[in-house]
Structure 1
Amino acid sequence: MEGIIAIWQRDIIKFFRDRARLFGSFSMPILFLIIFGGGMGGSMEALLAGPGGDPNFNYIEFIFPGIVSMTLLMTSIFSSLSVIQDKEFGYMREILVSPISRVNIAIGNVLGSSTVALMQGLLMFVLVPFIGVRVDFISILQLIPVMFLMACAFSSLGLLIASVLKSSQGFQLLVQVLVMPMIFLSGALFPINNMPDWMDFLVKINPVTYGVDLMKKIMVDVDQLSPMIVEAMGLNLEVFGRSVIMFEQILFLVVFMIVLVILATISFSRANA
């Protein structure tokens, strides 16, 4: 536990010391919030205000859970860049030859990155009073463990990538290629209904899809929306023709995280072999 806490604490200290990283990670989510919320919001709201729709539907409320999920994803994965930097400066080799087990190294890195991502995600709720999104305090309390679980799952993916690659440039290039499709194929910014079969398959195996839908279930009161809006906006995720419940989404994220942490542990072991 001392090894896990030490690695965990180190990532958090590095986060608070790097103010550019603190503010820079907001740029992309806020940009998407402005572009999609302001640009597409009017068109989507007008489209869904017709017969069977709801003239009071707020498109920003639909994408805000996705924007928070995007913040968690980007912060979690890019936090693993420190693993590559530790490799380059020799710090990781010192950790690997220490008595700390490889599993504890992986868990410490995941918890550190996840805590940083959670803090970044929670800071997004500062924007709530200014963008017209309604989120009560109880919902935020319910979101915290869900956001932390999502951050752990995404951090495990970043850790696996960092454990395999050897250069910061290669890590950033691969992550940029990987992150954007995961965001666009998750329902974070627009509905994912009626996609081609091959694209629908990618949607269903995308962990961000389940995290985004889980957050929407907590933040958006689906029962108060018309069936037409629920269908049009894809607020009822289905896999194999049946609706996915919250427990199944949580289970998917937990299994995803465990598998990737195991793979990252194996990769660390080989690196020190």
Structure 2
Amino acid sequence: MEGIYAIWYRDMTKFFRDRARLFGSFTMPILFLLIFGGGMSGTMKSLIGSGMNGAGDFNYVEFVFPGIVAMTLLMTSVFSSLSVIQDKEFGYMKEILVSPISRVNIAVGKMLGASSVAFMQGVMMFLLIPFLGINYSIVSILQVLPFMFLLACALSSLGLLIASFLKSTQGFQLIVQVLVMPMIFLSGALFPVNNMPSWMNVIVKVNPVTYGVDVMKKLMIDVESLSPLVRDAMGLNLSVFGRQVTIFEEIIFILCFTIILILLATISFRRTNA
């Protein structure tokens, strides 16, 4: 635990000392929030139909905000794993690998550092709620916080696994940029993904961000107050193999995803950095 804490503490210290990184990471999420939340609000309402039961009071910004928070978690978690490659370039990783700390503890420490940074930035997004004209209950926000940290751990594990195979920051940034954008757009974070082509629907269903976004929307939005037609139109009835998935099943999937990727990252550390 001391080794895990030392690695976690180092990453947290680097984060708080880098103010440009602290505020710069909010640029894209806020931009997406303004474009999709403000620009598409009227369009989505007209597509749903103002006469449809439950659509008149539907707020698209309220729908898209949990997706924006999930996008913040994704981008921050994955890009925070860049510190692994930086540690390789400056020789810090070699010092850790020759220490008595096990590879599992190294991977867990790096994962917790990246996920803690992502979690804090995700929580800071909630400061925008009073300025967006949306309203979430305190209970729903408190319920979603533990899941946000779990999702950040899962996405940090993905970034850690990618970083464990690479040795240059340029290669990492290129691969992550190619990976992150499809994960965002094919997750239901910004618009419904329930009418995708069959081949694209497969990507949607294996995308961990899809389940993360769905859980956050179910916890934060009063889904029961919307009519079934509105829920279907906005993709709030996520189903796999024709069966609607529950929040518990989605949490189990995210948890298993995290465990598998952290084990794979540990194996990669042993092979490439031993």
Q: Are residues 1:52 and 2:52 paired? A: yes
Q: Deviations over 1:27-74 (max 9, x none)?
A: 010000001111111111233243324212100011100000000000
Residue 225 of structure 1: aligned partner: 226
Give, in angstroms, the shift of residue 144 of structure 1.
Answer: 1.0
Give, in angstroms, the shift of residue 272 of structure 1.
Answer: 3.0
Residue 180 of structure 1: aligned partner: 181
Which residue identity lines up with residue 23 of structure 2 in the other structure? F
Q: How many pairs are equivalent? A: 273
Which residue identity lines up with residue 42 of structure 1 in the other structure? G
Distance (whole Å) between structure 2 residues aligned to residue 253 and residue 135 of structure 1: 24
Identity among equivalent positions (%) equals 71
Residue 195 of structure 1: aligned partner: 196
Distance (whole Å) between structure 1 residues aligned to residue 74 and residue 47 of structure 2: 30
Distance (whole Å) between structure 1 residues aligned to residue 140 and residue 12 of structure 2: 26
If the length of structure 2 is used for normalisation, what is the TM-score? 0.98
Residue 40 of structure 1: aligned partner: 40
SS in 2 for 1:170: helix
Residue 207 of structure 1: aligned partner: 208
Distance (whole Å) between structure 1 residues aligned to residue 4 and residue 177 of structure 2: 28
Give, in angstroms, the shift of residue 133 of structure 1.
Answer: 1.6
Residue 30 of structure 1: aligned partner: 30
Q: Any conservation in 2 of the 1:48–1:57 contact (CA below 8 Å)?
A: no
Q: Deviations over 1:88-128 (max 9, x none)?
A: 01000110111000000000001111111000000000000
Residue 270 of structure 1: aligned partner: 271
Q: Are residues 1:4 and 2:4 paired? A: yes
Residue 79 of structure 2: aligned partner: 78
Distance (whole Å) between structure 2 residues aligned to residue 129 and residue 270 of structure 1: 49
Distance (whole Å) between structure 2 residues aligned to residue 36 and residue 125 of structure 1: 17
Q: Deviations over 1:157-180 (max 9, x none)?
A: 000001000000000010000000
Distance (whole Å) between structure 2 residues aligned to residue 182 and residue 197 of structure 1: 17
Give, in angstroms, the shift of residue 193 of structure 1.
Answer: 1.1
Q: Which runs of 5+ in 1 are unaligned?
A: none
Q: Any conservation in 2 of the 1:66–1:189 contact (CA below 8 Å)?
A: yes
If the length of structure 1 is used for normalisation, what is the TM-score? 0.98
**Counterparts of 1:65-144 in structure 2 under 5 Å?**
65-144=66-145
SS in 1 for 2:40: helix
Give, in angstroms, the shift of residue 271 of structure 1.
Answer: 2.2
Give, in angstroms, the shift of residue 131 of structure 1.
Answer: 0.5
Residue 19 of structure 1: aligned partner: 19
Distance (whole Å) between structure 2 residues aligned to residue 236 and residue 118 of structure 1: 26
Which residue identity lines up with residue 28 of structure 1 in the other structure? M
The worse-fitting range, judged by mean Cα deviation, of 226-235 and 174-183 is: 226-235
Q: Any conservation in 2 of the 1:237–1:243 contact (CA below 8 Å)?
A: yes
Q: Which runs of 5+ in 2 are unaligned?
A: none
Distance (whole Å) between structure 2 residues aligned to residue 50 and residue 218 of structure 1: 25
